Structure 1
């Protein structure tokens, strides 16, 4: 069995070709594919050949070949390792000398301060987010790319990385990881992204249970030990194939927990944040004493 490092060096390009998937646009540095994870007509699935990483812009998710196999083969981390490490499949990618790796713009973290910039508060309000709810979980993060400074709403994960959002930017600061909130409850609420989490808080005005934000469904395996500690897990994942698969995987990987899919509460919308924006629009943002979701 190959080591994890060796498995991550297996060529994503070759693995996709083995499945009959080829780029619609190709150059020495990267290829653009029609996403194998969902239906689309315009290619938005990128494979970086030098770094041997993939990213699906439509899903806002990406990772190594292990993450991709987990999704395409519908298996867990251990099964993906066994699948790739058998030696019968994808050939090892030829190592690329560091001297010829393409220059990739590096996002450099400058500082994080209390969230207060009017542009960021306005951005949250445009997404239906109650700024008072965001202040307790989000920060104003200042960062630089190629010497130019920017700022965004930052949501910190358990490994010290950040998810960053603004009207013009969606990205993050490594390492990529989950975010957990432990209120010593035996019930946990599960969200894909922090905008959905803060939307929930904007509706309910409080969090009486525990919560876990995956910051991408790719991170689900990292959250399993936390979910497994709870008697009940309520999932608020996106209403798409990836969200449905994440809920199914969670039920399979946490057989001792009662996993309850709450996506039906916003079945006509892509995600919880979109539902909350639409609901506020219908109500003309009229304040009400009780606006929560009945679960």
Structure 2
């Protein structure tokens, strides 16, 4: 990614990815609290028409590159390195428009079969209970053939994950799972008044909720990116009972506050997993605790001379996660 490409990305999306939300906005501009320092009155202006910013309290402004240089206090090369690692939906949309022939394609969409993908899900605390909500997607990027867990959105695009890859294909959009009929609800979502919805940022967290829940009968809305906050807000108008399970990082906290501002009746459940970054980390810790508790109970059945051998085996179980996972 070069400066021209980075500067063409919506600065509104860049700010949102960093956890900054406007205090007021219209079609032409948006106002934010100073992203570089604490303040009580918004002095940071984003001009949406030219995708440029100006900080009135300091008398400085510029484009995306200027903003990130100041925000990260670093060089242009470091800024571009950071931008390359992000998954900006507006940049992907520009790439699709500019390229007459995309350099990627989906080769097959299957029910989950690959043992490596099943092992990855197991490491995330997920059992075959959630397999019906995902697919195995085999795809090609350039000349490289890949496979990943695929989670479909309402526009037919896919969020993709495996132990070493995190990305998406085709148009970014939210996803909605209808647990009341045990099927993915893609039709008439906006035509019916739905009683309850739970909201997650990512699909792994949503699957973690399905793994744990026993009686919830409603919808799960997966944002797939906090850049899709506005689209998520439109869908949430259809629900009477809104339950939030967003990440406990800066971006998640800001996003949660914005949703509650529009829907004051929304319930925040982040306290359930307050010691964890997200709901999946909470599930993984529960899984480890269960393994530990079962091992302790089992060890009580062994004679004293065998307990040392059993505890060594328990340690192997706890450290059996043999691959590096990318979230």
Shared fold per TM-score greater than 0.5: yes
* Residue of 158, 162, 165 corresponding to 2:161: 165
Structure 1 residues 72, 248: CA separation in 2 closer, same or farther (over 3 Å shift)? closer
Give the whole-Å Cα distance in 2 for the aligned partners of 1:199 and 1:232.
20
Structure 1 residues 76, 222: CA separation in 2 closer, same or farther (over 3 Å shift)? farther
* Residue of 126, 135, 141 corresponding to 2:137: 141
Question: SS of 1:226's equivalent?
Answer: helix
Max Rg structure: 2
TM-score, length-normalised on structure 1?
A: 0.67
The corresponding residue for 1:232 is 241
- Count how many residue pairs are aligned between Structure 1 and Structure 2: 223
Give the whole-Å Cα distance in 1 for the aligned partners of 2:195 and 2:29.
33
Give the structure, 1 or 2, with the largest relative contact order (CA under 8 Å, sep 6 or more): 2
**Structure with the bigger percentage of helix:** 2
Give the whole-Å Cα distance in 2 for the aligned partners of 1:137 and 1:248.
29
1:187 paired to 2:196: yes
Q: What is the alpha-carbon root mean square deviation over aligned residues?
A: 3.1
The corresponding residue for 1:267 is 274
Give the whole-Å Cα distance in 1 for the aligned partners of 2:63 and 2:245.
38
1:123 paired to 2:120: yes
Cα displacement (A) at 1:148: 1.7
Structure 1 residues 106, 286: CA separation in 2 closer, same or farther (over 3 Å shift)? farther
1:248 paired to 2:194: no
Runs of 4+ in 1 over 3 A off after TM superposition: 51-54, 69-73, 76-81, 85-93, 182-185
Cα displacement (A) at 1:169: 0.5
Give the whole-Å Cα distance in 2 for the aligned partners of 1:127 and 1:87.
43
Give the whole-Å Cα distance in 1 for the aligned partners of 2:211 and 2:51.
51
Contact 2:244/2:266 (CA < 8 Å) preserved in 1? yes
Mark the runs of 5 or more structure 1 residues left unpaired by the alignment: 1-28, 31-47, 55-63, 288-295
Cα displacement (A) at 1:92: 8.2
Contact 2:19/2:251 (CA < 8 Å) preserved in 1? no
1:66 paired to 2:12: yes
Structure 1 residues 158, 88: CA separation in 2 closer, same or farther (over 3 Å shift)? closer
TM-score, length-normalised on structure 2?
A: 0.61
Q: Residues 71-94 of structure 1, C-alpha deviation per residue, up to 9 Å, x if partnerless?
A: 66522795474231477955789x
Give the whole-Å Cα distance in 2 for the aligned partners of 1:187 and 1:226.
12
Mark the runs of 5 or more structure 2 residues left unpaired by the alignment: 31-46, 54-61, 65-94, 181-192, 295-327
Structure 1 residues 280, 74: CA separation in 2 closer, same or farther (over 3 Å shift)? same
Cα displacement (A) at 1:69: 4.3
